[in-house]
Structure 1
Amino acid sequence: MEKLEEQIAHLTRTVEDLSDVVARQDQEIALLTRRVALLLEREASREAEGTGGVVLGDERPPHY
């Protein structure tokens, strides 16, 4: 009986630890989702303004 109580205590602790990990991951995913949405909005506004060009390292600027 003691062994079962020990295993239950261990499993309870493991479940609580995993629950904490999942909660932290949920917060991080929500933060990253907001950041990606902001970046997408920013990029969309740059494209609308026409200033979103990407210059490659070996590409000459347009004034040459």
Structure 2
Amino acid sequence: MPLNRRFRRMTRVGPVQVGTAYDNRGREKHTAACTAPRCGFSADYDSRAAAELAARTHRCPVR
């Protein structure tokens, strides 16, 4: 069953969106996810800076 997260503080860095939400244990998590077709990149991070760094350095493998 997928998680239903309520994201806040959504920002966009190129094709990657960075958002902040709480996980199922009440901890704040930051997610970076690529919105390009057929890319599939997404990752959770403990700090906002790490998520934004991943968004800035992400390169889509599908061209």
Question: Taking structure 1 as the reference length, what is the TM-score of the superposition?
Answer: 0.22
Larger proportion of helix: 1
Q: Which has the larger radius of gyration?
A: 1
More contact order relative to length (CA 8 Å, sep ≥ 6): 2
Question: Taking structure 2 as the reference length, what is the TM-score of the superposition?
Answer: 0.22
Larger proportion of strand: 2
